[in-house]
Structure 1
Amino acid sequence: MRPIWKGMLSFGLVNVPVALYNATRKKTISFNQLRKTDYSRISYKKVGNDGQEVQQHEIVKGYEISPDRYVVLDEYELDAITPVASRVIEINDFVRLEQIDPRHYDASYYLVPETGAQKAYALLLQSMAEANVVGVAKFVLRSKEYLAAIRPAEGALTLSTMLFADEIVKPTELETYLPGDVKLTDKELNMARQLINSLVTEFEPEKYENEYYKSVMGLIDSKAETTVGGKELIGGKVIDIMAAIEASIAAIKEKEKPKKKRKTS
């Protein structure tokens, strides 16, 4: 696996050369849309309201401020305010892990020490683990600014990109009734607590599997062994297997027929 970013992890006056690696691999299944008759890929064209195809050089970026009213932004205007690529992840604060609402967490990465940085890396890793704290930092990756939480996990520093506060939807914004003033009896609460306590266990992520993913991939694997939708792909062409078999049998029978002798006069 190759790193997606290299730079410095900074806290105070200490700089640690690090590389950033993906810590997760999302297992999602995506399908291509094909034409049913010949399984050719479906392509899409960008068209305007008049139905005419729009070329790439004719496209601009617009932000809708009201129905069919847009503020158009030129590329040079956006480039002027795009964050400059950074080679430093600077930890500004250390906070307690339990103070961060899990809703803030987004994607996860590993921060790995570069050559010669193992001691400084180990110092930060062990100190954070003993203090049970998370480093909060901001950095730029691929022209986008991120808020990040840095924490020890299984002998490595992990970096989780985070959602900003104004990206979190508060329950009060939901158009529904929340049971804030529902009266509960002691008996009801005790029974609920008893049930919950009977189900409390250690979290073992390995025992939870994506059953749908496994089923779909199993189906794909079984069909991919010989066919695609009941038809075999040969040289980029779709051939009906049954038709091919029948044609082969017919050809063999024709070949095995005794040839009629010509009559001589």
Structure 2
Amino acid sequence: MARPVWKGSISFGLVSVPMRAFTAARDHTVHFHQLERSSGARVRNHTVSEESGKEVERDDMVLGYELPNGKYATFERDELDDLRPASTRAVEIRDFVALDDVDPIYYQRTYWLAPDGDAAAEPYALLLRAMEDKGRVGIGTVVMRNKQYLTAVRPLDGALAMSTMRFADEVIDRSSIDDIPEKVGKADPKAVQLAGQIIDALAGAWDPSQYHDTYTEEVKKIITAKSKGKTMTPPPSSDDEGGEVIDLMDALRASIERSTGRSRTGTKERPAKKAAATKRSAKRSTAKKGPAKKAAAKKPAAKKPATKRAAKKATAKKAAAKRPTRKSA
């Protein structure tokens, strides 16, 4: 049975709804322990004093914040509990904003909200339906695990969900990253058109179930094989496109051929289509060569005017030969 990680209330206006929050996501990362190679014994981390080298018990520890001068401001653990805001157990919605206006960079973790008791069922349904009708997200603050978060309460899949968020000063501004260019240069219009064709070819509906953490799946297979005394070789990497792109246009054209040459089921372009394309290309090539041959055949005809001129010269020579020669006195 799932255990609530937070218990409090969501308030909007004068309406307060008792709620419980349950984790809405799980981390499926495979975790390993450190073991001694020779004995297989677990290697554990211990809290050791840097000064004495001896292990320190939890009761002998305090919390310290390092100051600019290298010294520490120390706190007992219960001192921080006293510093928590009075609104720890309540989320007061300050604004209802459009979901599209919230950039995903602000989101952290998401929790399912459930009504806390039968009396909370009616106001829970009221808040859910009203937010669905308006398409809005409630923004407020909540304190969980000794930290205050900005939070978004929103309808999700027929229920209410609460997502902890980062405050504005926790998001690193792009201007502080030197590698990001201040001005993005203009792109070649033809390249933009080709890139648009790739986007259109890969366009589809959002379906998160079709994406898998293949790395974790392969690691688990290897773990299962090892537990049975078998060895399993990881599959070879299929990344054959990690080289440097020399020509962007060539890469775009190749991407289009790859994306349009297969259907959503992953099938490649049909051979019939390729053959038809080859025939059309051959016809165009033959059609271009035909007129060139005809032009080459007509070239000798261009010499006729020169032949006529030569004939006229020959006739003039004959006429000159027939003329009587004058005798000299």
Structure 2-normalised TM-score?
0.63
The yes-or-no answer on 1:187 pairing with 2:190 is yes
Checking the alignment, whether the CA contact within 8 Å between 2:81 and 2:146 is kept in structure 1 is: no
**Which residue does the alignment assign to 1:39?**
40
Q: What is the Cα deviation at residue 11 of structure 1?
A: 0.7
Secondary structure of the 2:71 match is: strand
Aligned partner (choices 130, 134, 148) of residue 133 of structure 2: 130
Normalized per residue, the structure richer in helix is: 2
Checking the alignment, whether the CA contact within 8 Å between 1:83 and 1:143 is kept in structure 2 is: no
In structure 2, distance between residues paired with 1:195 and 1:204: 19
Secondary structure of the 2:127 match is: helix
**Which residue does the alignment assign to 2:91?**
89
Evaluate the alpha carbon distance shift between residue 79 and residue 87 of structure 1 in structure 2; reply closer, same or farther with a 3 A threshold: closer
Q: Deviations over 1:133-159 (max 9, x none)?
A: 000011222332221101111100110
**Which residue does the alignment assign to 2:213?**
210
Checking the alignment, whether the CA contact within 8 Å between 2:67 and 2:73 is kept in structure 1 is: no
Evaluate the alpha carbon distance shift between residue 166 and residue 93 of structure 1 in structure 2; reply closer, same or farther with a 3 A threshold: same
Q: Deviations over 1:99-139 (max 9, x none)?
A: 11100000010111232322221111111111110000112
Describe how 1:79-228 pairs up with structure 2 within 5 A: 79-84=81-86, 86-114=88-116, 115-178=118-181, 180-225=183-228
What one-letter code is carried by the residue in structure 1 that aligns with 2:75? D
TM-align CA RMSD: 2.3
Checking the alignment, whether the CA contact within 8 Å between 2:9 and 2:16 is kept in structure 1 is: yes
In structure 1, distance between residues paired with 2:136 and 2:113: 16
Structure 2 unpaired stretches of 5+: 232-329
Structure 1 unpaired stretches of 5+: 229-265
Q: What is the Cα deviation at residue 19 of structure 1?
A: 1.5
Percent identity (aligned) = 36
Checking the alignment, whether the CA contact within 8 Å between 1:83 and 1:144 is kept in structure 2 is: no
In structure 1, distance between residues paired with 2:184 and 2:159: 45
Between 1:45-54 and 1:161-170, the stretch displaced more is: 45-54
Checking the alignment, whether the CA contact within 8 Å between 2:80 and 2:146 is kept in structure 1 is: no
**Which residue does the alignment assign to 1:251?**
none
Secondary structure of the 1:69 match is: coil
Evaluate the alpha carbon distance shift between residue 10 and residue 79 of structure 1 in structure 2; reply closer, same or farther with a 3 A threshold: closer
Checking the alignment, whether the CA contact within 8 Å between 1:60 and 1:72 is kept in structure 2 is: no
Higher gyration radius (CA): 2
Q: What is the Cα deviation at residue 51 of structure 1?
A: 6.1
**Which residue does the alignment assign to 1:241?**
none
Secondary structure of the 2:53 match is: coil
Normalized per residue, the structure richer in strand is: 1
Q: What is the Cα deviation at residue 208 of structure 1?
A: 0.6
What one-letter code is carried by the residue in structure 2 that aligns with 1:201? G
Evaluate the alpha carbon distance shift between residue 148 and residue 176 of structure 1 in structure 2; reply closer, same or farther with a 3 A threshold: same
**Which residue does the alignment assign to 2:6?**
5
Checking the alignment, whether the CA contact within 8 Å between 2:84 and 2:143 is kept in structure 1 is: no
Secondary structure of the 2:197 match is: helix
**Which residue does the alignment assign to 2:295?**
none
Checking the alignment, whether the CA contact within 8 Å between 1:63 and 1:72 is kept in structure 2 is: yes
In structure 1, distance between residues paired with 2:130 and 2:228: 53
Structure 1-normalised TM-score?
0.77
Evaluate the alpha carbon distance shift between residue 179 and residue 142 of structure 1 in structure 2; reply closer, same or farther with a 3 A threshold: closer
Checking the alignment, whether the CA contact within 8 Å between 1:45 and 1:53 is kept in structure 2 is: no
Secondary structure of the 2:93 match is: strand
Bigger RCO of structures 1 and 2 (CA < 8 A, at least 6 apart) = 1
**Which residue does the alignment assign to 2:53?**
52
In structure 2, distance between residues paired with 1:214 and 1:119: 43
What one-letter code is carried by the residue in structure 2 that aligns with 1:106? Q
Evaluate the alpha carbon distance shift between residue 185 and residue 197 of structure 1 in structure 2; reply closer, same or farther with a 3 A threshold: same
In structure 2, distance between residues paired with 1:177 and 1:155: 40
Evaluate the alpha carbon distance shift between residue 217 and residue 200 of structure 1 in structure 2; reply closer, same or farther with a 3 A threshold: same
In structure 2, distance between residues paired with 1:124 and 1:150: 10
